[in-house]
Amino acid sequence: MATRKIRVMGEECLTKVCREVTEMNERNRILVEDMLDTMYEAEGVGLAAPQVGVLKRIVVIDVGEGPIILVNPKVIETSGEQTGQEGCLSVPGKSGEVTRPNYAKVEAFDIDMNPIVVEGEELLARALLHEIDHLDGHLYVEKVVGTLKDVNYDEDEE
């Protein structure tokens, strides 16, 4: 297990448009493994490569139904609307209210570069859209209505 340092708001890597992955080589496989380890250790539901300082179009998500790995994801359809609290591992200790589509359909490639389609509603839709935003240098804080709130941490949290 190898975790990587999570970059936080203010760091330049979180503002960049990431480049497409052209092949799933060893380096990219290790990146995906490390991203999963990093996400699970931080107890996040998603992580995008720029959050660990790598400007590649890769995201990992787990909303409690097992890991989803998306390479070069593209949002191809959205519908409906949901409003709820959102947070981000790159904006530690904060959350804010964000309105997003309630449904999202995404085309991507899996870890073996096979084309896949992932669709989700509610939390999964929110996670898909939030993580894919990261690949274009966007953070959820841009979409927050009102102010960011402080999240109360457990005492054993750093």
Binding site for Ni ion (CB under 5 A): 88
Q: Which of residues 36 and 88 has its CB atom nearest to Ni ion in the complex?
A: 88
Q: Which of residues 14 and 24 has its CB atom nearest to Ni ion in the complex?
A: 14
Q: How far is the CB of 5 from Ni ion (least distance, A)?
A: 15
Q: Which of residues 103 and 133 has its CB atom nearest to Ni ion in the complex?
A: 133
**Among 23, 43, 107, 131, the one annotated catalytic:** 131
Q: Are 52 and 6 in contact (CB under 8 A)?
A: yes
Residue with tokens 């330049």: 12
Q: How far is the CB of 134 from Ni ion (least distance, A)?
A: 6
Please choose, from the candidates 86, 41, 85, the residue with its C-alpha nearest in 3D space to the C-alpha of residue 60: 41
Nearest to Ni ion by Cβ — which residue? Answer: 88
Q: Is 131 a catalytic residue?
A: yes
DSSP state of 57: S
Report CA-CA distances (Å) from 92 to 7, 83, 137.
Answer: 10, 21, 17
Q: Which residues are catalytic?
A: 131
